[in-house]
Structure 1
Amino acid sequence: MTMLFKWLMRLTSGLIVIALLVLLAVYYLASRSLPEYSKDLSVTGLSAPVEIVRDHANVPHIFGQSDADVFFALGYAHAQDRLWQMVTLRRTVQGRLSEVFGPRTLTIDKTMRRLDLYTLAQKSVSAQDARSRMALDAYANGVNARLDEINRDALGRGAPEMFLFNMPVAPWQPADSVAMIKLMALQLSGHMDTEVLRARVSLLLDNADRLSDLLPDAPGSGVAALPRYASLFDTALPKFAATTPLPESPLSPFHRRDFAGASNGWAAAASRSAAGGTLIANDPHLNFSAPGTWYLARLQLSQGGVIGATIPGIPAILTGRSGDLGWGITASYLDDQDVFIEKLNPDNPEEYLTPDGYKPFVTRKSIIEVADAKPLTLTLRWTENGPVLPGTMFDLGTITPKDHVATLSWTALSPQDSSISAAIGLMYAHSTQQAIETGALMIAPSLNLTLADHDQIALKTLGAMPRRTARHQSKGRLPSPGWIAENRWQGRHSYAANPEFVNPIGGIVGNTNNKIVDRPFPLHISYDWGDTQRIQRWQRLMQSRQVHTRDSFIETQLDTVSPAARTLLPLIGADLWFTGQAAPEGTAERQRQRALALLANWNGEMNEHLPEPLIYAAWVRALQDRLIRDDLGPLADSFNHVEPLFIERVFRDVNGAAKWCDVIQSAPTETCTDMARFALDDALLWIGERYGSALESLRWGDAHQAAHDHPILGEVPVLKSFVNIRQSTSGGDQTLMRGVSSGTGDTPFQNVHGAGFRGVYDFADPDSSVFITATGQSGHFLSSHYDDLGELWRRGEYIPMSLDENLARAAAVGITRLSPR
């Protein structure tokens, strides 16, 4: 027995030693790719020495003798910190993820190949102006200099993920950066999804008013009646066709309309500033990830210093400031996508109907290599309206008649896309007028550009605006027959038609993705906007002060009061507040009374430490589901975020909208009060099962955790504890400090989409400007800069946004000196 014990001890000790050796080996290999920021390096492609000074937050301040050398160094810095992110995004837009990750990403690759964005990016390189070509070439050379260094010095393949996945890295090309802009356009586009959803709801609901309850045109629009979708075709359409969900992979760039981009941006004139200088604030909203989308940088260009947020892979400050100009971006929601239904030739399915008769598809073969599986050959088909997308994508099969196919017209499908020249040109603008002129080069994505120089403020919508005829059958709100000439795009409107606001009388301009103009179709911009709620709170905060400061702009960015909660609670609880008799402890009635008592004293602040936001959010979520589930059936799952305007219309009975409260399958006639009470009980039961029945002890932040997850390693046991970043957060779907919930699964209130970057720029004292990102500068999870900015971001703090070279050097964590080889 003693001998057995000794051998077991020896075996256990040996296994422990082996495990430790394996861990040490893994750590050694992973740590080899940690960037070294203090060094001198000779590289090919520079014309003169350049310095990359890393400040205390690891923000690179780049100083060179020419702009080309500065862009070279930016490419080098991006590749130092975010190489895995860059090459993964490049594979995404190329449709080549499956070469590395196998069949699980095949749906993404097939969709990207059909959209053909990378081929269009390659063609668009020639459309850039000379300055942008210089920047693209120099940037690519800088990325490749880092790749050469990794290969030459065996620096752990450049990123720890490279050891887990065999991902050969090709040299960076200028087309790769152009493709990043197109990928950004894809992530910010939601009109196709909305069109398909509106068509599906139209097939289920007989009453047009009920459709407008659920998917209303923006308030204030004077619009023509929306036709029934089925009436556009002479072929029967199924009401309950099977859905085709978007790829669930965290690598997927395809997002439902609720995540199709958002943001806040505003500016104040000097007359509305306490310090006498213009002010500007911006916080663009995208899906959270680790590392985050944004990367802070300062470039010392020939025109002066520029500082702000970049996206690795793109050689431009996309939101930031120079010494003379500040700019911010928000999603404009311009309707730049239309779905067309094309009729096939019954005698030849390789042809489709056009206004001039049947024409053949333009076709091309495309081979997708798949790891651990056979290659897949796709036949790509294009029409005059755009690429053919199979019914297995984007739920298109649910609204496509037999013997028809769906195609997509989209401004980002341009082979002469000069958008990256607009982004680079903004860094060279010295005034709002110069910035507006530069914006003419933007094709896609469409953005609202908020601007402030020393004297003026402005807002301009950028991006190509499709020209539609006034006779369009659905005004772009539904998929339309592609063979009818009146439905087709007639080119695009001139840039002068894009909305523009310069020096408004009130001295303040801003956008929260709200409707910005009330023009009739076809100059309407859009029927679908990203916000009808945040704008109310923003206007109140802007109007509550005669003059503003940097700190008041920060307070507005961090505001967590929900105007939707303040509007909806008095409506849905009108007949429930303090009614009924006292109920025994432990009963559903008593729990309901406790919840209502808490909500009655709540001001609508979605604070992470309060219980009321969780009770409210669970209540309105359950209420909306009860209102629509019996009418829409499984399609109700597509409405997994609360639509405040819908609930308000129902409880105000706008055009008979209270009919939603009656369950059509039940014998009794339910009232809206009944539905509110039932939904509150549903919500409290759900809360009790997950968080306990002690309502006063609930914390909104426990349910509303910001999930910055690694898109590859975030689901791997053990590793996910190191690579995922989770933070308890305030805010909600309709607050200015916006944190959009996932809406699905066991964690429907998990914060997955919000302001990954915040910046406030003060031209009375430019070096007092501040900015922050949601995670950190490094994409390497062993780096101290992987998440060091995240806790500041969570607490609503910022770091200095200074162009003072001495300050950067005084707090430098390292200086990299690159010199020509």
Structure 2
Amino acid sequence: MGLVFKWSLRLFLLLALLAGLALAGVYYLASRSLVDYNADYTVPAISGPVEIIRNNSGVPHIFAEDDNDVYYGLGFAHAQDRLWQMTMLRRTAQGRLSEQFGERTVKVDKLIRRLDLYGHAQRAVAFQDDRTRAALDAYAAGVNAWLRIVNRDALGRGAPEFFLFSPQIAPWQPADSIAVIKLMGLQLSGHLEEEVIRARTSLLLEPERVRDLLPDAPGTGIAALDYAALLEGLDLPRYAANTSGPKNPLSPFPERGLAGASNAFAAAPERSAAGGTLLANDPHLGLSAPSIWYLARLDLSTGGVIGGTIPGMPVILTGRSDKVGWGLTTAYVDDQDVLIEKVNPDNPDEYLTPDGYKPFRKGQSIIKIKDAPSQTINLRWTDNGPVLPEDHYNLGTITPLNHEAALSWTLLTDQDTSMQAGLQIMRAGSAAEVIAAAADYVAPAQNLTIVDQESIALKTIGHVPRRNPAHQSRGRIPSPGWLEQNRWLGVMPYASNPEFTRPSGGILGNTNNKVIDRPFPNHISYHYGDTQRVQRWRRLMLNREVHTRDSFVEAQLDTVSFTARSLLPLIAADLWYTDEAAPDGTPERQRQRALALMAEWNGEMSEHLPEPLIYAAWLRALQTRLIRDEIGTLESEFTHVEPLFIERVFRDVEGAAVWCDVLQSAPVETCTDISRYALDDALVWLEEKYGRNIESWRWGDAHEATHDHQVLGSIPLLSAFVNIRQSTSGGDNTLLRGRTSGKGPDPFQNVHAAGYRGVYDFADPDSSLFVMATGQSGHPLSRHYDDLGVLWRRGEYIPMSLDPELARAGAEGTITLVPE
């Protein structure tokens, strides 16, 4: 027995030793790619020394005599901290994910290739002016300089991920930076899905009921359209099942309801306590680890610029100089149209145009697949745009037999000078100069909120399609592409884009809400990302005669839901304090406890309270009960509660209360009945997930921010090291927006939020603040992988100074690049 024990112990110790050695080896290899922030390098392609001074948050301050050398330094810093992320962005835009990840990403690559994002980016290089091409060349040279150092000094392949996947990295090219902009445009697009959903819904419901479920943003709109009538006589798949599968974590295509959101607001000097302009901006994108954002300061010949960049691009996208500040919000311009193309029944290589049948433009693309044979896909284009297959975007559910769906989209152009506009904005000295510089911007369309030292302004930038006044659907649903009136007539002139300068009230802002109410075809869109947050923002702005940096921070972090305050009195009006006393342990008693809590709640979506969780689960169950019997399996596409729909139903706007009656049941249910049933549904679900004690429930347990690593985040054990999870306040309709997933076993996880927050006070510019959602480094072993995320979760910020001496005084390290 003793002998067995002795050898078992020896075997255990040997295995422990081997495991320890293996872990030590893994750590050694991974740590080789940790960046030394104190180093000198001799590099090619710069005209003079470049200083990269990183402060104690890892934010690089880049100094050089020549602007192109500054862009070189930014490319060098981006590559040091985010090399894996940059290569993933490029691979995604090129449609080359399957070379690394095999068959699971083939569908993503196929769609990217059909859109030809990278081809458009390559051809767009020729349309940039000389200064922009020089900046792109310098940035690419900086990235490539770091790649050479990694290879020369065996620095762990540049990032730990390259030990698990192919370490081959092609040199960075100017087209790669333009491709990243186009990829961002893809992630902020949503009108295609809205057209498909509207068409599918109109095949099942009367126009009035479509208007209930898919309401226009408040203001002048048009009645819901009948898709079947638009394509009368064609064989439409009215009850087709979804053709799109579950979301691939590597896919850049946004799910419906997650196509971008942001807040930006500004105050003129007369509305500022300190007498200077104020600007706050928090752009929202899908959460990830590392964040898509990267903070940087560039010391250009026109002055210092500091703010948020995206690795892969030499541009401060949102930030400030000593003269101006600018912030971005998605404008929700209707920049996509689906055109149904009629295929020639006698020749499948032709499609119908207003001038008769015409051949498709064709091409081929070969997709290399890891551990599988390559696939060749046939590409086709019409005059309206690329032809998309039926299994993308659920297009098969609305495409008639012997027809194809083509996509018109402002992003799909070679003449894309958006990068040029971004570089010009950084050099602007006034709000007027910023607006003039943004004329070159193409896509994705944004609302640009601007302040200089004396004034504030808001301008919608990007191309707005020019549609024929006789357009059959006004861009709301897919339309016959063979009819002249449904085709685009180019783009609207930049001067016609909405613009607001020096408003009399001294306050400007946008929360993805409707900014202007003009009749078609001069409208901007019928569909917007927000009808709710703007109501709370307006109240916070009007509650103060003058604002401060701190009041702007308070508004940026506000967690009170206008939606909850407006809907709860409607859905609970006949439920509060109406039931008879019930014994503990019964569903009736549980409902009474929940209603008592809700009656005293002020709508604050605090992570520490149970009320937001009850409210969110109740509204989710309520919408499901209202729509499931009318639209069947299509209900799964409505993953987020539409507040305007709930309000229309409970106010019985245009007979919308008819949704409360269950079609398949004999009794006639009232809206009070459905509201009670939905609350019971929600409480049963919450009890199963969080236990019976209502007071112990916490919104933050359900509303965790999911900063997941795009690739390693789904691998057991590794996920614990690379994923960042945080309990968070806020919700779908609060200014501190934390958009929920809407799907799966954890539908309230926070998956889409403000990855960057900045507040700039031009009365005291160096008191300006910013923060991002994770950290500067993409390396899981770096202390800068998640250090800023701790502040972000608590609603804290770091200083945002352009003073070079402050940067040097608080330096964590300085990298000096010396020309060869």
Match of 1:140 in 2: 140
CA 1:504–1:418 in structure 2 vs 1: closer, same or farther (change >3 Å)? Answer: same
Displacement after TM superposition at 1:743 (Å): 0.4
Name 1:507's counterpart in structure 2. 506
Query: Secondary structure at the residue paired with 1:52?
Result: strand
Aligned residue in 2 for 1:543: 542
**For the residues of structure 2 that align with 1:213 and 1:806, how far apart are their CA atoms?**
58
Cα distance, 1:247–1:135 mapped onto 2, change above 3 Å: farther
Tell me, yes or no, if structure 1 residue 80 matches structure 2 residue 73. Answer: no
8 Å Cα contact 2:272/2:548 also seen in 1: yes
Distance 1:85 1:188 in 2: 19
1:8 to partner: Cα distance: 1.5
Map of 2:60 onto structure 1: 60
Q: How does 1:152-301 map to 2 (within 5 A)?
A: 152-205=152-205, 207-223=206-222, 226-245=225-244, 248-301=247-300
SS in structure 2 at match of 1:375 = strand
Runs of 4+ with >6 A deviation: none
C-alpha distance in 1 between matches for 2:188 and 2:714: 25
What is the identity, as a one-letter code, of the residue corresponding to 1:89? L
Q: Are the structure 2 counterparts of residues 448 and 229 from structure 1 closer, same or farther at C-alpha, using a change threshold of 3 Å?
A: farther
Match of 2:528 in 1: 529
Partner of 1:764: 763
Q: Is the Cα contact below 8 Å between 2:274 and 2:763 reproduced in 1?
A: yes
Q: Distance in 2 between matches of 1:4 and 1:174?
A: 66
Residue of structure 1 equivalent to 2:40 = 40
In 2, the alpha carbon distance for the partners of 1:610 and 1:369 equals 50
Asked if structure 2 preserves the Cα contact closer than 8 Å seen for 1:33 and 1:156, the reply is: yes
Q: Is 1:646 equivalent to 2:608 in the alignment?
A: no
Spell out the pairing of 1:471-486 with structure 2 (5 A cutoff): 471-486=470-485
Query: How far does the alpha carbon of each residue in 1:277-319 deviate from its partner, in whole angstroms, 9 at most, with x for none?
Result: 0000000000000000100000000000000000000100000
Q: Structure 1: which 5+ residue stretches go unaligned?
A: none
Report SS of the residue matched to 1:257.
coil
Q: Is the 8 A contact 1:29 1:156 kept in 2?
A: yes
In structure 2, give the amino acid aligned to 1:9: L
Distance (Å, rounded) in 2 between the aligned partners of 1:420 and 1:691: 49
Report the counterpart of residue 339 of structure 1 in structure 2: 338
Equivalence for 2:106: 106
Distance 2:742 2:339 in 1: 29
Q: Does 1:607 align with 2:589?
A: no
For 1:399 and 1:13, the matched residues in 2 are separated by 64
Matches for 1:417-428 after TM superposition, within 5 Å: 417-428=416-427
- Compute the displacement of 1:230 (Å): 4.3
SS in structure 2 at match of 1:785? coil
1:273-672 to structure 2, matched below 5 A, reads 273-672=272-671
Matched-pair contact (CA < 8 Å) for 2:241–2:633: no
CA distance in 2, matches of 1:238, 1:47: 63
Contact 1:662 1:669 in 2 (8 A): yes
CA contact (8 A) 1:230 1:236 kept: no
Match of residue 806 from structure 1: 805
Q: CA deviation at 1:231?
A: 3.4
Counterparts of 1:229 and 1:63, CA distance in 2: 61
Q: Deviation of residue 246 (structure 1)? A: 5.2
- TM-score (norm. length: structure 1): 0.99
CA distance in 1, matches of 2:421, 2:570: 47
The structural deviation recorded for 1:4 is 2.1
Aligned residues of 2:237 and 2:399 also touching (Cα < 8 A)? no
Q: For 2:749 and 2:368, how far apart are their aligned partners in 1?
A: 35
Query: Is the Cα contact below 8 Å between 2:187 and 2:252 reproduced in 1?
Result: yes
Match of 2:51 in 1: 51
Q: Which amino acid counterpart does residue 518 of structure 2 have in structure 1?
A: R
- The equivalent of 2:691 in structure 1 is 692
* Alpha-carbon separation, structure 1, partners of 2:772 and 2:564: 28
By how many angstroms is 1:430 displaced? 0.6
- Report how far residue 810 of structure 1 moved: 1.1
| SS state at 1:204 partner | coil
Which stretch has the larger CA shift, 236-245 or 651-660? 236-245
Give the Cα–Cα distance (whole angstroms) in 2 for the partners of residues 14 and 781 of structure 1.
Answer: 29
Q: Distance in 2 between matches of 1:339 and 1:247?
A: 22
Q: For the residues of structure 2 that align with 1:803 and 1:222, how far apart are their CA atoms?
A: 46
Q: Specify the alignment match of 2:9 in structure 1.
A: 9
| 1:561-607 deviations in Å (ceiling 9; x for gaps) | 00000011000000000002100110000000000000000000000
In structure 1, C-alpha distance between the alignment counterparts of 2:227 and 2:290, rounded to whole Å: 45
**Distance in structure 2 (CA, Å) of the matches to 1:533 and 1:496:** 29
Deviations 1:676-734 (A, max 9, x none): 00000000000000001111111100100000000101011111111000110000000
Task: Label 1:167 to 1:103 Cα distance change in 2 as closer, same or farther (>3 A).
Answer: farther
Q: In structure 2, list runs of 5 or more residues that go unmatched.
A: none
Structure 2 SS opposite 1:18: helix
CA contact (8 A) 1:203 1:230 kept: no
Aligned residue identity for 2:717? V
Q: Shift of the alpha carbon at 1:236?
A: 2.1
Contact 2:330 2:512 in 1 (8 A): yes
1:61 partner letter: H
Q: Please tell me the residue identity of whatever aligns with 1:507.
A: G
2:796 partner letter: E
Q: Deviations over 1:488-514 (max 9, x none)?
A: 000111001100000011001110000
Aligned-pair CA distance for 1:234 = 2.3
Look up the SS of the partner of 1:298 in the other structure: strand
Q: Counterparts of 1:592 and 1:222 in 2: how far apart (Å)? A: 39
3-state SS of paired residue (2:373): coil
SS class of match (2:545): coil
* Distance in 1 of aligned mates of 2:469 and 2:167: 50
Q: Which secondary structure state, in structure 2, belongs to the residue aligned with residue 642 of structure 1? A: coil
Aligned mates of 1:350, 1:73 — CA distance in 2: 50
* Structure 1 residue 222: Cα displacement: 4.0
Matched, 1:149 2:149: yes
- Describe how 1:659-738 pairs up with structure 2 within 5 A: 659-738=658-737
Asked whether the equivalents of residues 42 and 819 of structure 1 are also in contact (C-alpha less than 8 Å), the reply is: yes
What are the superposed Cα offsets for residues 770-817 of structure 1, whole Å, 9 maximum, x if unpaired?
Answer: 000000000000000000001100110000000011111111111000
Give the 3 Å change call, closer, same or farther, for CA 746–593 of structure 1 in structure 2: same
> Structure 2 CA distance, aligned partners of 1:288 and 1:721?
17
In the alignment, structure 1 residue 747 sits paired with structure 2 residue 746 = yes
Paired letter, 2:609: L
- How far is 1:218 from its partner? 1.6
Q: Distance in 1 between matches of 2:301 and 2:636?
A: 53
In 2, Cα distance between equivalents of 1:224 and 1:728: 42
Contact 1:598 1:612 survives alignment (8 Å):
yes
Task: Tell me how far apart the structure 2 counterparts of residues 621 and 131 of structure 1 sit (CA, whole Å).
Answer: 52
CA–CA distance in structure 2, aligned partners of residues 247 and 569 of structure 1: 33
User: Per-residue CA shift, 1:174-225, capped at 9, x if unaligned?
Assistant: 00000000000000010000000000001111x2110000111221114366
Q: Is the 8 A contact 1:464 1:493 kept in 2?
A: yes
AA aligned opposite 2:743: T
The CA deviation at 1:238 is 1.9
Secondary structure in structure 1 of the residue aligned to 2:182: helix
Query: What is the alpha-carbon distance in structure 2 between the residues aligned to residue 371 and residue 18 of structure 1?
Result: 31
Aligned equivalents of 1:317, 1:473: Cα separation in 2? 41
Matched-pair contact (CA < 8 Å) for 1:230–1:237: no
Tell me, what secondary structure is at the counterpart of 2:450?
strand
**One-letter amino acid matched to 1:376:** Q
**What's the C-alpha RMSD, in Å, of the aligned pairs?**
0.8
Distance of 1:222 and 1:174 partners within structure 2: 42
Distance 1:782 1:246 in 2: 35
